[in-house]
Amino acid sequence: MLAGFVLPVTMAANALYAQEEKPAGHGDSPANEYVFSATTLGQIEVEIPGLKPDDPVITQEEFNQAATIYFERCAGCHGVLRKGATGKPLTTDITRSNGYDYLKDFITYGSPAGMPNWGTSGELSEDQVDLMARYLLIEPPAPPEFGMADMRASWDLVVPPEDRPTKQMNDLKLDNLFSVTLRDAGQVALIDGATYEIVRVFDTGYAVHISRISASGRYLFVIGRDGKVNMIDLWMEEPSTVAEIKVGSEARSIETSKFEGFEDTYAIAGSYWPPQYVIMDGATLEPLKIVSTRGMIYDEQEYHPEPRVASIVASHFRPEFIVNVKETGKIQLVDYSDIRNLKVTEIEAERFLHDGGFDSTKRYFLVAANARNKVAVIDTKEGKLAGLVETGGLTPHPGRGANIDHPVYGPVWATSHLGDETISLIGTDPEGHPDNAWKVVQHLYGLGGGSLFIKTHPTSNHIYVDTPLNPDAEISASVAVFNVSDLTQEEPEYTVLPIGEWAGIAEGQPRVVQGEFNEEGNEIWFSVWNSKDRESAIVVVDDKTLEMKKVIKDERLITPTGKFNVYNTRADVY
């Protein structure tokens, strides 16, 4: 989910299916100190669904409080309607079968399968654990829809296009700027890649999930988990928000048109709730067309009420957006050449689609179906499925992935995994290396499970793998680095970079996440992500020497997570 950046914040996920009452090792590792996504969903006043005679007693006030906790901490993995995706379903047939005491224990103690120990970590009080166990035994509420009238009411054209500059009015080297998410502050920081100084901090939606750059490199688009979109003009004397809109109650993805002749023409944003995407004017964010993603699951051919838009990328070969729909396992190729007569090609892929990136030619898009341990490959030139790859690891989570010229297998694309230490290298050259195409040609093994992002650069000879969600504090603060030249070995070794130690942060359990290269590709930045009331930092590493080059600290760097270099993001360089 982050590039696209989704945290496994399961409420009662795999634990519900465990056989032991308290699994070995549960709740004993250091508690996660990242702060969970809050969305406006939890603030919606809902009525308790009709209670059955055997439902637990719960008041309206308690129900609203529990709904808030659920939306803040659980909906990202389990879905607003608790149908499941990355996390297991939490529908009442399952929760009632396990029962109140079972739910209470697992919410308290967690499990080794990825469920946080909410109670023993102190994240939830005993009363809150009790409340959530009761809440999960009741049918979930459906939040309100969010349609065109709601979007237009939220749309604010701060500076019309005619009042914006006709040329760049500052001295910033735009292509080497970084847009950095300040997650719990509801902000992004624009940082100069040469001076390491913060240019400006912008108020945005909560927990910005992703930043995208228009094809021209002029406009920066960011979207919060609360569905708020900011459009920032980098040409202004002081870069500023020129338009904003709210596209739903919960969201993750935004992109802009890139095909020749359509540069900066359109923007598109996808929502988790309601399950839909909206095409907007690329200069103003005016909403133009909303498309629902509700429909049939590709394999079961059963209706799903909440197929969330997980990620969106823009094709370099056609005037199309590639929209990945999580629950139905479908990829939509949305032709924006004529949005009044919209043409959508629907490709059956696999569940549950999450995030991914292009191969080195930008023709093929590879996206993780993370709960099925597969990667789907789309030929964006031909507009069809090119392959479906078993990754050999648990829960692939590539971000954008990493493109490498392998010394044996030629061009490959790599993904790491949330569930284990596996790093899978997939062949991506069907013409030059046809025997390797759309197959895992090699497995590497990193520090452990809990990886969110893998990164390299065309000028680099290294592959960087983070592990921010590993329960071991030392591992979560470190990065494994593989040398591409060593990939000829049967089991290549890696170098460990103690990024957290280099940051010099004394308190908390800072987690190191999401490497991002500068434009030149000679240094890589890592976020050292601490809790919101403690010091965080960004550590810059020299790619040639693997030595610490700079530690960026500023009181405004509150929970920094995703970082997006302007050039690498707009040109899909990874």
Residues tagged active-site: 74, 77-78, 115, 354, 397
Question: What's at 452, amino acid-wise?
Answer: L
The two structure tokens encoding residue 359: 């191969």
> Which residue carries 């992004």 as its tokens?
188
Interatomic CA distance for residues 307 and 325, integer angstroms: 6
Half-sphere exposure at residue 536, Cβ-oriented, CA atoms within 13 angstroms = 26
**DSSP state for residue 92 in the 8-state scheme:** H
CA distance 76 to 41: 11
Residues contacting residue 101 through CB under 8 Å, at least 6 positions apart: none
Give the helix/strand (H/E) hosting 342: none
Residue type, 571: A
- Angle of helix 126-135 relative to helix 100-109, nearest 10 degrees? 130
Which uninterrupted H or E stretch holds 518?
A: none
Residue 513: in which H helix or E strand, if any?
strand 511-517
Both tokens of 528, joined, read 């050292």
Strand partners, 366: 357, 377
- The structure tokens listed for 250 are 């919960």
Give the pair of three-digit tokens for residue 572.
Answer: 């899909």
Q: Which amino acid is at 101?
A: D
Helices then strands, counting H and E runs in the chain, come out as 9, 35
Tell me the two tokens of residue 194: 């040469």
Q: Is the CB of residue 187 less than 8 Å from the CB of residue 202?
A: yes
